[in-house]
Chains A and B, each alone.
Chain A
Amino acid sequence: MGAAHLTAWFAALAIFVLLWQFGEPISKWAFDYPKAWQIPLARWISDAMKWLVNEASFGLFTFTDLTRFIADIVNLPYRLALSLLSTGFLSGQGSSAVQILPPLSWIAVIAVVTLIGYHAGGRRLAAIVAICFGFLAVFGQWQSAMVTLASILVAVPLGVVGGLLLGIAAYRWPRFETALTPILDLMQTIPVFAYLVPILFLFGFGPTAAIVATLIYAMPPMTRITVMALRAVPSEFRDLGNMIGCTRRQMTWRVLVPSAKDSLMVGVNQVIMLSLNMVIIASMIGAGGLGFDVLAALRRLDIGAGLEAGLAIVALAIALDRLSQAYAARAGAPVAPASTGGLVARHPYTVAAVAVILVTGVAGLILPAVQTYPDALKLSTGSFWSNVVGWINVNFFDTFEAVKNAVLLNILIPFKRLLGGLPWLGVTGMLAFAGWRLGGLKLAAIVGVLAFLIAATGQWEKAMITTYLCGISVIFAALLGIPIGILSAERARLWSWVRVIIDTLQTLPSFVYLMPAVMLFRVGDFTAMIAVVAYSIAPAIRYTVHGLMKVDPRLIEAGRAMGCTPFQILTKIKLKLALPEIMLGLNQTIMFALSMLVITALVGTRDLGQEVYIALTKADTGRGLVAGFAVAFIAIIADRLISSGAARTKARLGLV
């Protein structure tokens, strides 16, 4: 870092401060973007949407026909899964339908998933899966859980395959990647509520629209991780592939994808987690299931029932995640030679599963308890959790209030005021300058234009509140998450616990803990911050651990041989090598924090999330998407600046 560099920073900062402190009387427009200059983007989008829904046509069929056709195709596997798990096979529609075949009984489903668990990961996994599904039955969540499971069973494979294919394409064609990256950012960061209305118009109201929304939200991490994982495949493997004369296709599917498997599984995990995360919003547009139960329970402030339904989502997530991980681990192991012999010997698991299904199916006709879990054996925590929250509330509210007020008055509000008072022109200029110093003119242009667009579409004030809320939350999440990640990376036992906790935080609908948080902290920014930190801490931890675990053990060994202390090994070797992953984790933390905006709007923040929510209530596509874009632009600016900063740091450390 030369002196010239520092001087440039100081000069820019000085101009910025001058403008901020003394500019207001001279150039009011630099502080409040004049209404007359606003770009009427919201109206354009609304008009375009109207045209798309009502008029767009390919000649033979309209655009809506096309999307409806896609919806019908997605609907087929969904109906099948739903029939199998929940409704049974029906003839006719609605309430006049007649059941031809009952759905799989609860015993059959548990037996089958347990068998799958045993097949994939032995007794331990079988037990985990059985407990998770047993929880659903015992706590009376079975019906709803099966509805949710059906839509997850459709959404996750679509998300994984779609994400993988996009990722491979991006890896192969750099141009495609350049085009795709901003789209991925938009998909992941535009709040779902912003595009809910158009999706409903295009794909119809119901589970299919919910699946489409889930895919848009859950696919990007898979794509990103695929690209990163394929890049990380050691070049020796590629050389080997070339030497033995692989075709491109063989190279991709036989060499690259299998060697990147471990990292790809992180992507699968994320797709599962994010899909389950969408369960609440999906239930708002006709998917039903557990999400609906959570919402309904919390609207009558039945915290226990909400928590039980929420934990049922977590149980599903854990079971599905562990199963997919186990299968990935198995796929690498050598395949046992196919045993000869009878059908039973060759396919013991399939035969056992079919047998259980048939036996329980027939038995269920005679004994209802076999078909559906008997009410008499159901457990519930009843009012226990409400009482716990009540007890905490009565005894500790004042303490909480004091802590809250301290944080609010000393950190949150000053920061909010600071950001709110900055001139948009100055901030845009500063961001562009940072982009120029960190990544050159192109980055400066991108960052500057995006920041300008936020102001030009009239979102500046709300965008600043958003930045303040997410910024503070990300700082807290990183300060807590990265140390936890460092600790857990070294201790397998701790990691297994932390994993359960972050999986829970990521899949437990935030609504479940948001309402008790409102009871203890009132509505407002502080409660919103708790929700955002709780959700966005997961990637900070996960990526840190993953990065540290991936460090080549030979390098650590070499460090040890040279007499490094454990602290030196950590700071000089491990953390440096894991830095790219940690940065990716930080990036994801920001994305996750922004994606929580929809939820924070529910506790009365006045940011872009609220703008999106208001637009939804008015079915105003344009207004919602404009605010949604502003959220996405904030995310992209943060992402680009951080990535370039990280790349520069890496280059300086000699890591590249």
Chain B
Amino acid sequence: MPLGTRTISSAFGALALSAAALLSSSQWAGAQESTDPIKLTLHDWTGQLITTQIMGEVLKKAGYSVDYVQADYLAQFAGLETGDLDVAMEMWETTGRDAMDAATATGKVENFGPTGMKAKEEWWFPEYMKEKCPGLPNWEALKDEKCAEAFSTAETAPKGRYLGGPVTWGGFDDERVEALNLPFEVIHAGTDAALFAELESAYQRKAPILLWIYAPHWAPAKYKGEWIEFPEYTKECYTDPKWGSNPDAQYDCGKPHGEIWKVGWAGVKDKWPGAHKAIKAFTLDNDEMGQMITKVDLDGKKVDDVVAEWMGGNEARWSEWIKK
């Protein structure tokens, strides 16, 4: 679009917005903001749909026009850099850090701060495995050969089989097995759906399984089980070999808890300053999110209804985010 038309159209936009604002007696009257819809990305897991739709609803209450665009978690950065997409509400420290860093380095993508939710990721086992491996959830129980064998399959025996996340997630599990001297072989699932398909399969048969699970997610709510308790993560553990039980290796501890970030197109700040503020102010916590995910994925409620319920119950909170 040539520059001239853009100015004119945004002038019209400002007029239309202030007219709309007068009618709806919203607090945004007179703000120099674009009326273009703010494009929020939707991914394919429930928690993200909920987070995004809550943000969308809040922005709508503030008088913004909102558009939801379905986009791949990682491919979306191409859109966020050019401004084809505006906001991505969940970028996990643990899985999206590289892509996020690459994008923010271009200066075209901005980190809108933490969502308040923390990603927990760790090795996890179903409860019935405690019988075969009594020392769990303490990680040292895994060192026992009998215990490792209980987790083994034909391909890995006599070593135990640990199903790690897709290689793209990183996570240093191969290094961890090495550093802690665990008799386990790391098999990488290609995708998160495959990870949980294996869990479902094993759980149905009460068969042994040890795998990477993360929260907030429906799986820890649906299946009874526990996280392995590794030595608590510290920064030094990942950087300094001397730290921890193995003096010659890094990664002799558990996984870090990561922030879940909000990111978006750097132009949001100028185009919709009020929305920018609201997005930065947005926070939720793990418990709330866990409950909402359970309602959708396990109780079969609709995302829309769960979001509406949250909006109804937390008016004081979200109106604070959009206060001028």
Contact = CB atoms under 8 A, between A and B. Distances in A.
Interface of A: 92-97, 196-197, 200-201, 204-206, 283-288, 292, 295-296, 298-301, 390, 393-394, 397, 401, 405, 408, 511, 514-516, 518-520, 522-524, 600-605, 610, 613-614, 616-619
B70 A286 contact: yes
A306 to B, nearest CB: 9
A610 B99 contact: no
Contact of B78 (A201, A295, A296, A523): A201
Given A515-B193, A523-B187, A603-B190, A197 B75 contact: yes
B154 interface: yes
Interface stretch (B60-68, B137-145, B311-319): B60-68
7 contacts: A94-B39, A205-B71, A295-B44, A393-B204, A519-B198, A522-B201, A619-B99
B115 interface: no
A284 B75 contact: yes
A616 B74 contact: yes
A345 B72 CA distance: 51
A219 B88 CA distance: 33
Contacts of A284: 70-72, 75
A9 B133 CA distance: 58
B69 interface: yes
Interface of B: 20, 35-39, 42, 44-46, 49, 56, 60, 64-67, 69-72, 74-79, 81-82, 84-85, 98-99, 102-103, 153-155, 163, 166-168, 187-194, 196-198, 200-201, 204-205, 207, 218, 297
A390 B204 contact: yes
B78 A299 contact: no
Contact of A96 (B37, B76, B99, B102): B37
Contact of A296 (B38, B44, B197): B44
Contacts of B192: 299
Contacts of A613: 168, 190
Contacts of B66: 94-95
Contacts of B154: 401, 405
Nearest to A382: B300
A416 to B, nearest CB: 13
Given A288-B70, A522-B153, A614-B168, A602 B191 contact: yes
Given A292-B44, A296-B44, A95 B197 contact: no
B65 A93 contact: yes
B197 A301 contact: yes
B17 to A, nearest CB: 9
Nearest to B20: A96
A205 B78 CA distance: 7
Given A299-B45, A300-B297, 12 more contacts: A95-B56, A96-B64, A204-B84, A288-B70, A292-B44, A292-B70, A301-B196, A390-B204, A393-B205, A524-B187, A600-B190, A603-B191
Question: Which of B75, B153, B205, B218 neighbours the largest number of chain A CB atoms within 10 Å of its CB?
Answer: B75
A603 B194 contact: yes
The 4 nearest A-B residue pairs measured at CB: A94-B37, A205-B79, A200-B78, A94-B65
A94 to B, nearest CB: 2
Contacts of B201: 393, 397, 518-520, 522
Contacts of B188: 523, 604
B193 A618 contact: no
A273 B35 CA distance: 40
A253 B74 CA distance: 46
Question: Which of A93, A286, A295, A515 neighbours the largest number of chain B CB atoms within 10 Å of its CB?
Answer: A286
A394 B205 contact: yes
Nearest to B102: A619
B76 A205 contact: yes
Contact of B84 (A205, A516, A610): A205
B129 to A, nearest CB: 17
A632 B270 CA distance: 44
Contact of A95 (B67, B71, B76): B67
A299 B190 contact: no
Contact of A299 (B20, B35, B44): B44
Nearest to B76: A205
A145 B143 CA distance: 52
A521 to B, nearest CB: 9
B75 A196 contact: yes
Given A97-B65, A300-B218, A393-B205, A619 B78 contact: yes
